[in-house]
Chain A
Amino acid sequence: MYKYDQYDQRQVDTRVEEFRDQTRRRLSGELPEEKFRPLRLMNGLYLQLHAYMLRVAVPYGTLSGAQMHALADIAEKYDRGYGHFTTRQNIQYNWIKLEDAPEILADLAKVEMHAIQTSGNCIRNISSDHFAGAAADELIDPRPYAELMRQWSSFHPEFSYLPRKFKICVIASDTDRAAMRLHDIGIQIVRNDAGELGAAFYVGGGMGRTPMIAPCINDFVPLDRLITYAEACLRVYNRYGRRDNKYKARIKILVHELGAEEYTRQVEEEYAHMLEQGVEPPFAELERIKTYFADPPFESGLSSDVDRSDSDFALWVDRNTHQHKADGYVSAVISLKPVGGIPGDASVEQMHLMADLASEFSLDECRVMHTQNIVLPHVKIADLPALFARLDAAGLSTPNLDQIDDIIACPGLDYCSLANARSIPVAQKISERFAASGKGNELGQLKLKISGCINACGHHHAGHIGILGVDRKGTENYQLLLGGSEAEDTSLAKITGPGFDEDGIVAAVETVTDVYLAQRSDGERFLDTYRRIGMAPFKEALYD
């Protein structure tokens, strides 16, 4: 894992003291809210429905055991005993007091964490594959490049006041586990025919009120020009992105309106100019970063056999573990989606346990998934029974990775001031309904995602089944969408028709799964069947 150097630490410590003074001035009346608001947002502090909310950055989703312990301590000391892991691999606290915020940031800084650039029109936390550095199918670990981009984008003066927020994702496998093409810039590290590594740039994707899949604008940028090319993409956006209309300010609108070809031409022109300027970070810095992401000391000669006589354990292994690049290891997913639970929430006790398990079983690492679960990336197969027993005792052994009850849900109207409808109760009712009937076990991979408003933090556009909460004359109403995917087969879901009330949408989900079960061919996922038979049979079952 990356470790702060003196410059990283000084930057973060300095920001803590700046914010401490800004908060003091706000509380004393020297700063009115309209001046303080952008300052607190630069430090991840929002004002939500019930209190201040603090969003803490988890760079590319990677945490040490000590960092997870620190997150738990903050939940216990300053919040109400829990945290919420988000769809951008971050964590949010819902009950923060303004007067405590500077001290929380100081506590975070002690474990090399912060909340900088988790809000505002800047480059946000760089996201990545939650199995990075562990997956058997990746070319290389993408995190050194994500870290390089984190350092480049932190406090970047040119990109601190962009037309709108900006999200970058870096992956290094053909299998997309990070919704790469639904980012402002998605970067896939690839190998060309000559065997050289480079980066394919996908620019102009996103969800929100105008969902778009990013087109590939350059399929091979040399890795030693990664920052220069990213900066060229940003410069064109910063120059021509719309600032007159918040709803048309994201880069996806610029790329769409210019056309990918013209946008690319302008980027290439800027890139050619910038190559003469020498803006790429020194090669030595990347090499320094890479040393922190060297493979941990995997043991050799390990057995891959494990006693599967316990059917609950065997099911959990089948569903919640992922193939590792080292023989005898797997990555294990800790589900934060118990039946009837709140997706992504973890109590203080659960966070401490996950931190302990990371230390004991996963070489002191864990990861936050954008699907709001936690990964232990490096677990010996021989240790799985012991790990499962510990998780099971803590209610963390739900075997539902990518199943219908592994639901992404934004905080919705229960917490969020932007939301139009509640998301969490819908997720709870769906998971309870399918658990009670046992039908969930028949469905196989089925990704269900729920957003409480058009901003799409719950990724409803990318759900095999998506649900969007809307406000219809002051009451909650839910639109149903089908056919989305955030994976390498990225697609945007389509609305089925008129919306439903809360109970109606739960029943509607069951209806569309019944259509799938009746129509599927051997080996087809829900998404495959939908793509083969189209929307009509589902609409017929829902509305006729």
Chain B
Amino acid sequence: MKILTGNDLKTGEVIWWTGTDWSLHVNDAVDVGDRADEIAAREEAERRVNVPYAVDAETDDQGIRPSHIKERIRALGPTVRPDLTLKPADPTAGNWVI
């Protein structure tokens, strides 16, 4: 599947396209198929996202998993600072990245 990501213009936070809005959580992302460029252009023009782009992803028993490790680190946060990830209470959250 193709999912759309970018950074929040004001905060720089990593965000994922949900079909109607942007979410901090990759599991909220939807398959954009071949509409990535169209959605990206519209949302960037509305200043709701900065530098959007599509990435490959798969689904597994934990939800949506970006194919490349770089995108998985973007989705979670730095593996060396679990306290600063989206799962601060889970010190093993970084295992999902690898």
Chain A residues lying within 8 Å of B47, measured Cβ to Cβ, are 27, 29
CA distance A424 to B78 in the complex (A): 10
On whether the beta carbons of A414 and B10 are closer than 8 Å, the reply is no
Chain A residues lying within 8 Å of B79, measured Cβ to Cβ, are 414, 422, 425
Q: Knowing A50-B74, A425-B79, say if A474 contacts B69 (CB, 8 Å).
A: yes
On whether the beta carbons of A47 and B50 are closer than 8 Å, the reply is yes
On whether the beta carbons of B12 and A51 are closer than 8 Å, the reply is yes
On whether the beta carbons of B51 and A80 are closer than 8 Å, the reply is no
Chain A, residue nearest B80 (CB): A424
On whether the beta carbons of A475 and B69 are closer than 8 Å, the reply is yes
CA distance A102 to B46 in the complex (A): 23
Chain B, residue nearest A99 (CB): B10
On whether the beta carbons of B84 and A342 are closer than 8 Å, the reply is no
Task: Identify which of B11, B44, B80 contacts A97 (C-beta below 8 A).
Answer: B11
CA distance A29 to B47 in the complex (A): 7
Q: Knowing A27-B9, A49-B14, say if A414 contacts B69 (CB, 8 Å).
A: no
The secondary-structure label for the interface of chain B is loop
On whether the beta carbons of A413 and B70 are closer than 8 Å, the reply is yes
Which of A29, A50, A413, A414 has most B Cβ within 10 Å?
A: A50
Q: Knowing A50-B74, A80-B84, A425-B79, say if A96 contacts B69 (CB, 8 Å).
A: no
Task: Identify which of B7, B51, B67, B69 contacts A51 (C-beta below 8 A).
Answer: B7
On whether the beta carbons of A98 and B78 are closer than 8 Å, the reply is no
CA distance A414 to B82 in the complex (A): 11
Q: Bin chain B's interface residue count.
A: 20 to 34
What's the minimum C-beta distance from B57 to chain A, rounded to whole angstroms?
A: 13
Chain B, residue nearest A45 (CB): B12
On whether the beta carbons of B10 and A27 are closer than 8 Å, the reply is yes
CA distance A119 to B7 in the complex (A): 20
What's the minimum C-beta distance from B23 to chain A, rounded to whole angstroms?
A: 15
On whether the beta carbons of A415 and B78 are closer than 8 Å, the reply is yes
Q: Knowing A29-B47, A413-B69, say if A428 contacts B12 (CB, 8 Å).
A: no
Which of B14, B73, B77 has most A Cβ within 10 Å?
A: B73
What's the minimum C-beta distance from B56 to chain A, rounded to whole angstroms?
A: 10
Chain B residues lying within 8 Å of A47, measured Cβ to Cβ, are 7, 12, 50-51
Chain A residues lying within 8 Å of B78, measured Cβ to Cβ, are 50, 94, 414-415
CA distance A414 to B50 in the complex (A): 20
Asked whether any CB of chain A lies closer than 8 Å to the CB of B68, the reply is yes
CA distance A475 to B77 in the complex (A): 18
Chain B residues lying within 8 Å of A51, measured Cβ to Cβ, are 7, 11-14
Asked whether any CB of chain B lies closer than 8 Å to the CB of A514, the reply is no
On whether the beta carbons of B80 and A98 are closer than 8 Å, the reply is no
* Residues of A near any B CB (own CB < 8 A): 26-27, 29, 33, 47, 49-52, 80, 94-99, 342, 413-415, 417, 419, 422, 424-425, 428, 474-476
- Per CB-CB distance, the 8 closest pairs between chain A and chain B, nearest first, are A51-B12, A414-B78, A52-B12, A424-B80, A97-B11, A99-B10, A414-B80, A49-B74
16 new A-B contacts at CB < 8 Å, known A47-B51, A50-B77: A27-B9, A47-B12, A50-B12, A51-B12, A51-B13, A94-B78, A96-B12, A98-B9, A98-B10, A98-B12, A413-B70, A414-B73, A414-B79, A419-B70, A424-B80, A428-B80
